[in-house]
Amino acid sequence: MHAYRTHTCGALRKSDVGTTVRLSGWVNRRRDHGGLIFLDLRDHYGITQCVIEPDAAAFALVDTARSEWVLTLTGKVVARSAETINKDLATGEVELRIEQAAVQGQAQELPLPVFGDHTYPEETRLTYRFLDLRRERLHKNIMLRAGIITSLRRRMIEQGFTEFQTPILTASSPEGARDFLVPSRRYPGQFYALPQAPQQFKQLIMVAGFDRYFQIAPCFRDEDGRADRSPGEFYQLDLEMSFVTQDDVFAAVAPVLAGVFEEFGGGKAVTPHDKFPRIPFAEAMLKYGTDKPDLRNPIEIVDVSEIFGRAEVEFKAFKAKTVRAIPAPGAGPQPRSFFDKLNEWARGEGAAGLGYIQFEDEGGALVGKGPIAKFITGAALTDMAKAAGVKAGDALFFSADAKPDRAANLAGMARTRIGRELNLIPDTEFKFCWIVDFPMYEWNEDDKKIDFSHNPFSMPQFDREKFLGLDPADKDTILGIKAYQYDIVCNGYELSSGAIRNHDPDVMLKAFEIAGYARDETEEKFKGMINAFRHGAPPHGGTAPGIDRIVMLLAGEENLREVTMFPMTQSAQDLLMNAPSPANAKQLKELHLRVVYPEKS
RNA sequence: GGGGGCGUAGCUCAGUUGGUUAGAGUGUCGGCCUGUCACGCCGAAGGUCGCGGGUUCGAGCCCCGUCGCUCCCGCCA
């Protein structure tokens, strides 16, 4: 007989009755009846009830066992009587009658009980991650993650993609997020950087003549975390293809994502891969107030600046401002507190408030109610109702600001909030869309200059010769240029960001020149890539869906830590392994480093 | 860097207007119990109220500072 087990704790069935078996696992739960002890033994595969009576030789030893001890138990499989069958257990028709027992590992009093589905503070969970991972929810999530990654790999390979590894120790990139630096021992004062993404490498792979690359790629960014953004590190399904248009990339990626969501989505409806709506960035900002709209939310924002601008509408607070109207279907009869609460929330977000009108039917005519309703009457009111698609029984909220961006942002947040308050967001579907036509540049008001708005390596949607002839002073034209850049959004989460790349060295130098980089500066910073583009670069493009977020959505979780095996805290500490930690004097000396601590004020 | 929430027994939490010896559940330990599957019953031990300072006759509670976890803003090409 095997030293530890003949079966797993999830294996035994009625057909095994009468055989002698050996199980190993953790004590999930112990029920001591004095003359009779039940132990639920748990392993990766399941739980089996084991039982022992006082006359058995192993009783004294089993009597000492406590929760989370690791035991090896040997004995006969017996059938349970009809009234003692546990339908909640796969092994519930049988139990193990313990004849021999061995303790493989004892457990101290637990800082974090494994049994049960209680919630525990993050600090405890992270310090004792190995215990937390034993619990059903995390164990299941981590297995789901593994299944999803396996499926993604298979789907990519089936589509003719090949997985390549790219360096982890590489050069710092001047654009984008803060880098993690690794000091060089052999080159005093010089540093490697961990890649923020394999962006330049995958483009070089295309220039090198490989086609259809992918990688389950670790990415490192020294930026603060959020519930949907791990601090420090995360994984992307990084991919790149040669000789492709934007449509080709869409056609390759959408089936992979939709397929994985159908496979692991637990029966929730998934947008068909060839029916992802394509929403231009500008339209998304107008209709949803964000570039990552949750399309499950039926609310669509409309611009009503023109109506508030009319002479007969005497509501001064909204004059000469961008005014966005957010319909709240069915909210008309809500109590005053509903509207006050939203108004208060908007103030908390730094807005002046959130004006509103309630629409009612009075003798067949549509009338407005509420604090500002008296300013909007007659044609203005009916035009507004028509534009926003509201009727009697609905309400309309207003987000107004002199700056269009701010009006749009607040409207977007209000849309989400109202959708939630009114229970308009069904939890039964995964709604995908493409956000396309991102602007290439944006105006930096602080520095009074033109910046890249997203990815500097994207190809501008602009005639090549005209682009090369652009004068950086021609601000309006430049700010109107769109890029072949696109995101995949699902249920309000940005899952993926990608682009058709700029593989033309002249256009690239010009693109950076417009953003304020001198030619020789760009040449120096992106030497490797620009040099490669001068030796025969194919048109190429790709994208990189975030794996952690995909798993999070499919697990129904709202925090990435729930789908990450060993996550860090929000402040980027690993409480289990105790990282970061100081380097010793010898290490520092070898690396030619001296630490200068910040002064305490 | 900024704002909000939380921090009390091994664990999860309660703790009134500042007032006697800081409570409950769970776990642990001891006793009883032969069919439980959140087993049950009886008893016991277990506390730097995150840390430091202040106000007060008296602080878990009020004030100031600080640390940790968390959510959000900034940041994330």
| Predicted confidence (pLDDT) per residue in A487-536, tens digit | 999 999 999 999 999 999 999 999 999 998 899 988 988 888 999 999 99
User: What is the spatial distance between Cα A526 and Cα A536, in angstroms, rounded to a whole number?
Assistant: 16
Nearest nucleotide relative to A49: CA against C1': B37
> Is the C-beta atom of A341 closer than 7 angstroms to strand B?
no
User: What is the spatial distance between Cα A254 and Cα A475, in angstroms, rounded to a whole number?
Assistant: 36
Q: What Å value separates CA A405 and C1' B64?
A: 40
pLDDT, averaged in runs of 10, over chain A (601 residues): 97 97 97 93 97 93 95 97 94 97 93 88 92 95 98 98 97 85 96 94 96 97 94 96 97 98 97 97 95 96 94 88 94 88 83 89 90 90 94 93 89 93 93 96 84 91 95 89 96 96 95 91 88 96 97 96 95 92 94 84 43
Nucleic chain B contacts, protein chain A, residues 174-193, CB cut-off 7 A = 175-178
> Is the C-beta atom of A464 closer than 7 angstroms to strand B?
no
> Is the C-beta atom of A66 closer than 7 angstroms to strand B?
yes
Nearest nucleotide relative to A455: CA against C1': B77
- Predicted confidence at residue A317, as pLDDT, reads 87
User: Amino acid identity of A306?
Assistant: E
User: What is the predicted ipTM?
Assistant: 0.91
- Predicted confidence at residue A232, as pLDDT, reads 93
User: What is the spatial distance between Cα A584 and Cα A589, in angstroms, rounded to a whole number?
Assistant: 9
Contact A222, A182 (CB under 8 A): no
Q: What Å value separates CA A204 and C1' B11?
A: 53
What's the predicted TM-score (pTM) here?
Answer: 0.94
User: What is the spatial distance between Cα A564 and Cα A510, in angstroms, rounded to a whole number?
Assistant: 41
Q: What Å value separates CA A175 and C1' B24?
A: 56
- Predicted confidence at residue A565, as pLDDT, reads 96
- Predicted confidence at residue A52, as pLDDT, reads 96
**Phi and psi of A260, rounded to 5°?**
-65, -40
Q: What Å value separates CA A577 and C1' B67?
A: 20
Q: Kindly state the tokens that stand for A432.
A: 């995908």
- Predicted confidence at residue A601, as pLDDT, reads 43
Q: What Å value separates CA A343 and C1' B49?
A: 38
User: What is the spatial distance between Cα A142 and Cα A567, in angstroms, rounded to a whole number?
Assistant: 12
Q: What Å value separates CA A560 and C1' B51?
A: 31
Q: Please, which positions of strand B sit below 7 A from a protein CB? A: 1, 10-13, 26-29, 32-40, 68-77
Nucleic chain B contacts, protein chain A, residues 198-257, CB cut-off 7 A = 199, 221, 223-229
